[in-house]
Structure 1
Amino acid sequence: MRIAVVNNFFPPRVGGSAHMAASLAQRYAAAGHDVLVLTAAYQGARVTESHDGYRIVRLPAVTMPKLGLSIDFDLSFPSLVPGTRRRIFRLLHEFQPDVLHLHGQFFDLSWLSGLYARRHGIPVLLTVHTLLVSERIGYALAFRLLDACLVRPILKRVNPRFAVLDKPGRDYCVRRYRVEDRELEFLPIAVDTRPFDRPARGGIRAEHAIGNDPLIVSLGHVIPLRDRIPLVEAMPEILARYPRTRVLVVGKVYHDAFVERAEDLGVRHAFLVRGAVPRNDVPAYLAAADIVTHDLNGGCGTASLEAMLSGTPTIVSIGEDHYPGVDLRDGDNMLLVPPDDPDAVASAVIGLLDDPVRAAAIGRRQGELVRRTFALDVVAGQYLRILEKMVAADVLGR
């Protein structure tokens, strides 16, 4: 097959969607398929390059100013550069794809590529990574209007098959885009296990002068959707029991309300804000932790699954039915708390610190779960089978 992979986000930009798109592109190429990646330009990365057997084209883009929205981090839009539509259409025409795999339903590269595919009768699979939601009434209304007035009409024209990562993604597509279950595929987040197959480097605790103190690593970008507030608000109770506990925040900080909240509660001294680190260093930070948590506002993304893969017990705020067909058991192969519940976070953290043997056992079972269900090879195989079926059905339908 000739597969076009399209995502506004792609390495060297970091983030779950970017790395998942890159990992799947590499696996598609390794399986013998021709792969073209279309993405937005990012911080001096080469305009075109070949990598891991596939070609990448980065299109000039306008980076939007920070507006404080829930999805507000390095948003770049190539369509704001004159001539982008013509260039995308030309690149796809030259490549002659059999199928398009789009990532992200509300980004312009997905829209433009999808419209090209619809015009030329090419099947499209769209992976929905992020949901436009907010607890703030104004933002929630704006997001609903955006979905209703812009995203849904475009998706109706593109007519993709939807790949959803979890139950909330399925419910969102049904509710916001009027998608029927027969148009959906459940495909879990793909996690590259290779970085965790070799020993992680040591020295993280020494670098940050943590010593043997209890350490919580909070991994991932800090944005309003993952604001760390529940963890901050859990810290007074945690510190009352384990006063030397430290929290190491690893990831770029786009939204720093958690720092102000920590100061208000008198727990700022417990937080070390490391910022973004090279991706190759992530296993070392996870290995240094006693506990990992950052998905406390509802969800379980790539960073949390990587933490689980590392064998470090990881707390997330989802339900046992979050991944259809996946057997999640709280306290056994998962550590689950309700979204935005500081008391539950404090109880979970203290329980793990009280019983290191239980914590290690849960961490081990979490790692086994990720390797069995979310490993890149497993998920990429599922994607390829679906893409092949879509291409075969398209050929038969002509």
Structure 2
Amino acid sequence: MRIAVVNNFFPPRVGGSAHMSASLAGEYAAAGHEVLAITAAYGDAPADEQRDGYRIVRLPAAKMPQLGLSIDFDLSFASLKPGNWRRLRRLLDEFKPDAVHLHGQFFDLSWLAGFYARRHKLPVLLTIHTLLISDNKLYSRVFRMLDAVLVKPVLKYIRPRYVILDKLGVDYCVERYGTSDANSEYFPIAVDTGNFAKPVTKDVRAELELGDGPVIVSLGHVIPLRNRLPLIEALPAILERHPGVRVVIVGRVYHDAFLKRAEELGVAEALVVTGAVPKEDVPAYFAAADIVTHDLNGGCGTASLEAMLSGTATIASVTEDNYPGIELRNGENILLVRPDDAQAVQETVLSLLDDPELRSRLAQRESAMVQANFGLDVVAEEHLRVFSKLVADHDVLR
């Protein structure tokens, strides 16, 4: 098959969506399929390159201003640059895809490639990565309006088969877009197990001068939806029992409420904020950690799953039925707390720091659970199975 993979986010940009789309593209190519990845320009990344067995084309893009919204990343939109629709159409005409894999339901490249696929009657998979939700009532109303007025009509025209990653996404897509079992696949986030099979060559503890005390790592961009506040609120009690604890926050800081709260609580000196780090360094940060806490506001994303895979005890905040078809058992193969519950974070962190054997046992079980259910090879095989069926059905209807 010839598969076009389209995502505004793509490495070297960091983030779960970027890494997942690139990893799946690499797996498709490794399985013998021809792959073209189309994305938005980012930094100094080349406009056209061959990597991991497939071609990547980065179209010129305009960076959007940050407005303080709950999904406030450094967004870039290619449709704002003249000529990109013609460029994309020409790329796809030359590539002649059998199927298209879109990542992200509200990005312009997904829409443009989706329009192309609909006009050429090509099968489309659309992975829903980010939900347009916010705790802020005003933003929530705006996001609902955008979903109803813009996103839903576009998706109705494109008619994709949806790939939904978790229960929250399922409920969201049913409510906002009218999805059902008839037009959806329920695949979890894909984790690149190979990235964690390599020896760790970077000594994070030495580089950051963390010493030999307990280290808590929280890796991922800091945004309102992942604000780190439950961990900061729990820190005074944690430091009282374990005064040598250091908390390493890894990722771009788009929302700094946690820093202000740390100052107010007198725990700022326990924090080390690194900013974003290269993907290849992520295993070294998990190796330096005794505990990983990232998804404490409701979630269990790529960073948390990678931490579990690495063999580090990891805390998340989803329900046991979060991933359709995957059995999570709190306290056995995963460790869960209620979202935004600082008291639960405090008690859970202290229980792990007080009992190294418990910490080690849980870490091993988490790693085995992720390996069996979220491994990139497992998830990619499921995607390719669906692509094969969609393409076969499409050929019959021709």
For 1:158, the equivalent position in structure 2 comes to: 158
Q: Which deviations, in whole Å up to 9, do the C-alpha atoms of 1:61-98 show, x marking residues without a partner?
A: 00001111111111000001112112211111111111
For 2:139, the equivalent position in structure 1 comes to: 139
TM-superposed CA distance for 1:202, in Å, is 5.2
For 1:384, the equivalent position in structure 2 comes to: 384
Code of the residue aligned with 1:162 in structure 2: it is Y
Aligned length: 398
Q: Which deviations, in whole Å up to 9, do the C-alpha atoms of 1:202-252 show, x marking residues without a partner?
A: 532122222121110011111111111111111112112212211011111
For 1:217, the equivalent position in structure 2 comes to: 217
For 1:333, the equivalent position in structure 2 comes to: 333
Between stretches 373-382 and 275-284, larger displacement belongs to 275-284
TM-score (structure 1 length as normaliser): 0.98
Q: Which deviations, in whole Å up to 9, do the C-alpha atoms of 1:247-282 show, x marking residues without a partner?
A: 011111121111001111111111111111222111
Q: Which deviations, in whole Å up to 9, do the C-alpha atoms of 1:80-118 show, x marking residues without a partner?
A: 111211221111111111100000001000001001110
Code of the residue aligned with 2:71 in structure 1: it is I
Is 1:40 matched with 2:40? yes
TM-superposed CA distance for 1:158, in Å, is 0.3
Code of the residue aligned with 2:280 in structure 1: it is N
Q: Distance in 2 between matches of 1:384 and 1:183?
A: 16
Between stretches 145-154 and 179-188, larger displacement belongs to 179-188
For 1:74, the equivalent position in structure 2 comes to: 74
For 1:300, the equivalent position in structure 2 comes to: 300
Q: Is the 8 A contact 2:234 2:343 kept in 1?
A: yes
Code of the residue aligned with 1:141 in structure 2: it is R
Is 1:27 matched with 2:42? no
Q: Is the 8 A contact 2:202 2:281 kept in 1?
A: no
Code of the residue aligned with 1:74 in structure 2: it is D
Code of the residue aligned with 2:289 in structure 1: it is A
Residue ranges of structure 1 left out of the alignment (5+ in a row)? none
Q: Is the 8 A contact 1:293 1:315 kept in 2?
A: yes
For 2:56, the equivalent position in structure 1 comes to: 56
Q: Distance in 1 between matches of 2:8 and 2:2?
A: 20
Is 1:354 matched with 2:354? yes
Percent identical: 64
Partner SS, residue 80 of structure 1: coil
Q: Distance in 2 between matches of 1:291 and 1:221?
A: 18
Q: Distance in 2 between matches of 1:312 and 1:124?
A: 37
Runs of 4 or more above 3 Å deviation:
none
Q: Is the 8 A contact 1:202 1:288 kept in 2?
A: no
Q: Is the 8 A contact 2:3 2:101 kept in 1?
A: yes
For 1:319, the equivalent position in structure 2 comes to: 319
Q: Which deviations, in whole Å up to 9, do the C-alpha atoms of 1:269-301 show, x marking residues without a partner?
A: 111111112221111110111100111111111
For 2:101, the equivalent position in structure 1 comes to: 101
Partner SS, residue 127 of structure 1: strand
TM-score (structure 2 length as normaliser): 0.98
TM-superposed CA distance for 1:161, in Å, is 0.3
Q: Distance in 2 between matches of 1:274 and 1:86?
A: 40
Q: Is the 8 A contact 1:126 1:163 kept in 2?
A: yes
Partner SS, residue 79 of structure 2: helix
| Aligned counterparts, 1:122-271, within 5 A | 122-201=122-201, 203-271=203-271
Q: Distance in 2 between matches of 1:202 and 1:150?
A: 45
Residue ranges of structure 2 left out of the alignment (5+ in a row)? none
